[in-house]
Amino acid sequence: MIRNLPGFRDFYPADCAVRNHLFSVFRQTAHRFGFVEYDGPVLESLELFTEKSGEEIVGQLFNFEDKGGRAVALRPEMTPSLVRMVGAHANSLRRPIKWFSIGEQFRFERPQKGRLRSFYQFNGDILGIEDCAADAEAMALLVEIFKGLGLTDQDFQVRLSDRDLWMYYLESWGIEEANRVPVLSVVDKLARREREDSLKALKPYLAEQSEAFLSQVEKLVQLRTLEELEAFFQAQDDGAEGAVSERLVTWRSLLAKLNALGLASFFQIDLTIVRGLAYYTGFVFEAFESSGQSRALAGGGRYNDLVKKMGGPDLPALGFAIGDVTLRDLLEEKKLLPEYMDSVDFYIVFGGDPELAVALEDIAKLRESGLQVAYPLKPTSFNKQFKHADQAGARFALIYGDDEVARGVVAVRDLARKVSFECPRDALVEALRDVKEGHWPENL
């Protein structure tokens, strides 16, 4: 038998129900925040991704030449498509642009726990607003989605950092602009490799200053409060005081907004978060599981220059993405995924072909009215039909015996309460709507 490809999932009905639960929480929460949904093509021009991330990204893509001779790729993320779409119609879009999407993404990398080649992502983005109120809004949306899934501040934390602050700091050390992103990538890996390896990686950019720089950075990344950040930078005699002080005012404004929203307990300052992609500017953030494997659950930040870089107008922007794989793993471990069973409202039980012929007329009317109705496709006994009704998760059975059909009525049985009433066939639609809403006849 042919098997599915490595890193790709089959969604059997129970799995599909869980996925739809996640999507439902994503959508409901985003709508409450005033975000509107969009989507784009799964297949895009390869240039769209290399323009944003450079040629090195090609090794991570499912890319090929299509029959028209075009270099194309399955999308590995949503941001490039979003930027292309917004850039094409920026002048006609009302600000702020608050969009979200839920879509499948593809990356050609080694499948492992929490990371697959095909996965779904929620993306929430705000474009057209420079003020940190937009950052607070996006971060609040992220937290509220997780809260909507049953997670608390004991289950996850959002670690908050700032690319602008880092750039001012690197500039104060005399690091050339072209070298700042490579130096940040060294900072990004500090916790994952030996100190000597970090020093070696810094040498090309800082030479004999590498040790002093690393020592200061090790202090900086340990700071967890705004007051500690302010004290650290005030102690630096680096010529960047004005820019840093102004930036810390923005920090204070952002944290005040998160506090006013009642979300302060979900956030932690952590300057080790720098986000590896070069296009990030300003505030960046990642959500991590608080215990256990400390898995990354989401991430995002400002990308103010990207729309212009990709041919659109100069438009401030920020956003974040939540992947479904690690999130589902966490929710399963926390037992926060509801148990789903596909079910119908009403299940038909009938005596024989004559009764089925009558029942089919009613089934058509009931389904047309919006009610869920199923019936056995294979003739069998009454007892087995009732078992099938239970297996189908039906709340009610509609009984068409020869006596009921002869009298022009249907017996409606509540399968949980084991009580029944008879209803004329010509009033069945209205009666079953009432029953579905919990309005059982008063004389029973």
Considering the domain architecture, whether residues 186 and 275 belong to the same structural domain is answered as: yes
Considering the domain architecture, whether residues 178 and 327 belong to the same structural domain is answered as: yes
pLDDT class of 325 with cuts at 50, 70, 90: very high
Give the separation between CA 173 and CA 237, rounded to whole angstroms: 10
Phi, psi of 231 (to 5 degrees): -65, -40
Q: Is residue 317 part of a domain?
A: yes
Q: How many domains does the chain have?
A: 2
Query: What is the per-residue pLDDT for 239?
Result: 57
Helix/strand/coil for 279: coil
Considering the domain architecture, whether residues 318 and 350 belong to the same structural domain is answered as: no
Considering the domain architecture, whether residues 301 and 366 belong to the same structural domain is answered as: no
Considering the domain architecture, whether residues 164 and 112 belong to the same structural domain is answered as: yes
Considering the domain architecture, whether residues 228 and 284 belong to the same structural domain is answered as: yes
Considering the domain architecture, whether residues 129 and 22 belong to the same structural domain is answered as: yes
The answer to whether residue 106 scores a pLDDT higher than 90 is yes
Considering the domain architecture, whether residues 97 and 199 belong to the same structural domain is answered as: yes
Domain CATH code at residue 394 = 3.40.50.800
Q: What is each CA distance from 220 to 21, 91, 206, 312, 346, in whole angstroms? A: 41, 42, 17, 36, 64
Q: pLDDT by residue (tens digit) across 402-441? A: 999 999 999 999 999 999 999 999 999 999 999 998 888 8
Q: Is residue 236 part of a domain?
A: yes
Q: Is residue 52 part of a domain?
A: no
Domain that includes residue 386, residue range? 346-436
Give the separation between CA 358 and CA 216, rounded to whole angstroms: 83
333, 358, 377 - which closes a domain: 333
Considering the domain architecture, whether residues 325 and 374 belong to the same structural domain is answered as: no
Considering the domain architecture, whether residues 218 and 324 belong to the same structural domain is answered as: yes
Tell me the range of 45-54, 111-120, 141-150, 390-399 where mean pLDDT is highest: 141-150
Per-residue exposure over 236-263, b if at least 16 CB sit within 10 Å of its own CB, e if not: eeeebeebbeebbebbeebbebbeeeeb
Phi, psi of 348 (to 5 degrees): -85, 130
333, 366, 399 - which closes a domain: 333
Q: pLDDT by residue (tens digit) across 397-413? A: 999 999 999 999 999 99
Beta-ladder partners of 398 = 348, 412
